[in-house]
Amino acid sequence: MLQWERGRVLEVSAPWRGVQMLRVARTDGPEGPEGREGGTSTDGPSTVRALSYPELVGEIAEGEDVLLNANALRRGLGTGGQALVVARAGELPQAQQPTGHMVKARYTPMQTLVDALDDPGSPHRAALEGTDDLGGMPVVLADLHSALPAVVAGVRAEAPEARIVYVMSDGAALPAAYSRTVARLRETGDLVACISAGQAFGGDLEAVTVHTALLGAKAVCEADVVVLAQGPGNLGTGTAWGFSGIQAAEGLHAASVLGGRPVAALRVSGADARSRHHGVSHHSLTLLGRAALAAADVPVLAAEADPEPDRENSAFTQYVSQQLESGVTEPALTRGVGHRIVDVPRAGLREALGVSPVGLRTMGRGMEEDPWPFLFAAAAGRHAARLASSAGR
């Protein structure tokens, strides 16, 4: 069940669109007046940082009393490990009633009504009904949200004016507002829209399924390239199938059946100490080698013409190629799925990543500690941009 806490808001900030960050003094809970340690100090354990979504609870002001969900905070979890505002104890927010009837976060206490692309009353319904094929539009699939800015950088390196849409699936964070990356890329215009699909909510546009999100990206947003990935907070268990990014396979199938061109952004690392994530992550190997029922382009960094100046990098890319052969190509072909391994030139990709408006970090590491995740994601973006250009998009 939920671990509840009460608190009073001491400070409010809005560091990016769609969220409020609060400093809250606990008025009960483990270190509050009803807890075993007692005390009401606003410095130390009786004060917590909390996240609030105005879309759900309205705009919160200093001095208000709030109810917090402290489940993940008390467990010290990395995924969702913070206090979340569930309700304001005082005045109720005045919500603007949407015209649509789609409910997201359904049958939870926080379910919210949204206007979906595919709703009968949507102004975009006619455009959506008139589109049933993506016409070869490239759809880049990634299992980690942290790949998004790197994919975008790769697209921009090849096609600076390309229209890029992000489709956020519901494998991890459900509120699109939780992503500072998306907020910043929307501010800079690097993304023309975010479409939240399934149970995810809060994008510029909403969709009932990944399928209608992809069709909406084409018909409504006039996308040249789509990036489809879960939001922040991938959940992994260390088992072959128990990771939330596996749903990228469903996105691959949706892109394929709708006539798009699936492009798989490999999850790669040269610094992860866990053997299952070194080189090509087992997430990518499972997704492409075992879960995929349709073919995708799999971009890899092309070998340098002269490997002598950088033997270490050449050895790593060769290792990745060997992993793909044994872990993706062979098992996929056994099941009749012919993925296409595509060599992508790396020239200019590092420079493109260096000017990304969003800081690049994955699994706690940046470009200095581990450039490979970002370079391979950027290669997927570059390949997608080339596909879009060749299709006249």
Domain with residue 27: its CATH number is 2.40.50
Query: Residue 138 domain-assigned?
Result: yes
Residues 213 and 140 in one domain: yes
- What is the Cα–Cα distance from 177 to 203, expressed in whole angstroms? 7
Residues in contact with 141: Cβ distance below 8 Å, sequence separation at least 6, in sequence order: 228, 229, 248, 251, 252, 255, 262, 263, 264, 265, 296
137 in the same domain as 254 = yes
Asked if residue 380 and residue 244 are part of one domain, the reply reads: yes
Residue 25 and residue 143 share a domain: no
Listed in sequence order, the residues at least 6 apart from 224 whose beta carbon sits closer than 8 Å to its beta carbon are 137, 159, 162, 163, 164, 385, 388, 393
Task: Give the C-alpha distances (Å, rounded to integers) separating 134 from 46, 237, 258, 281.
Answer: 53, 34, 6, 29
Measured CA to CA, the distance from residue 365 to residue 103 in angstroms comes to: 37
Q: Kindly tell me the number of DSSP H helices and DSSP E strands found in the chain.
A: 12, 17
**CATH assignment at residue 143:** 3.40.50
140 in a domain, yes or no? yes
Of 33, 67, 88, which residue constitutes the final position of a domain?
88
Which residue, chain included where needed, has tokens 């390949």? 383
Question: What is the domain range of residue 261?
Answer: 125-390
Q: Has residue 93 been placed in a domain?
A: no
Identify whether residues 78 and 201 lie together within a single domain: no
**Residues 143, 66 within the same domain:** no
Same domain flag for 26 and 135 = no
Query: Are 160 and 264 within one domain?
Result: yes
Report if residue 114 sits inside a domain. no
Residue 343 lies in a domain: yes
The answer to whether residues 382 and 279 belong to one domain is yes
pLDDT in tens, the chain (393 residues): 778 899 999 999 999 999 999 999 988 755 544 333 333 333 456 889 999 999 899 999 999 999 999 888 887 776 667 899 999 988 777 767 777 778 988 888 888 889 899 888 889 999 998 899 999 999 999 999 999 999 999 999 999 999 999 999 999 999 999 999 999 999 999 999 999 999 999 999 999 999 999 999 999 999 999 999 999 999 999 898 999 999 999 999 999 999 999 999 999 999 999 999 999 999 999 999 999 999 999 999 997 644 445 656 788 988 999 999 999 999 999 899 999 999 999 999 999 999 999 999 999 999 999 999 999 999 999 999 999 998 776
44 burial (CB, 10 Å; 0-12 / 13-18 / 19+) is: exposed
Domain stops at, among 37, 68, 88: 88
Q: Give domain status of residue 55, yes or no.
A: yes
The answer to whether residues 351 and 245 belong to one domain is yes
- Assess if residue 113 is contained within a domain: no
Six-digit token string for 314: 């050449």
Are 66 and 143 part of one and the same domain?
A: no
Domain count across the chain = 2
Same domain, 299 and 243: yes
Q: Quick check: is 80 in a domain?
A: yes
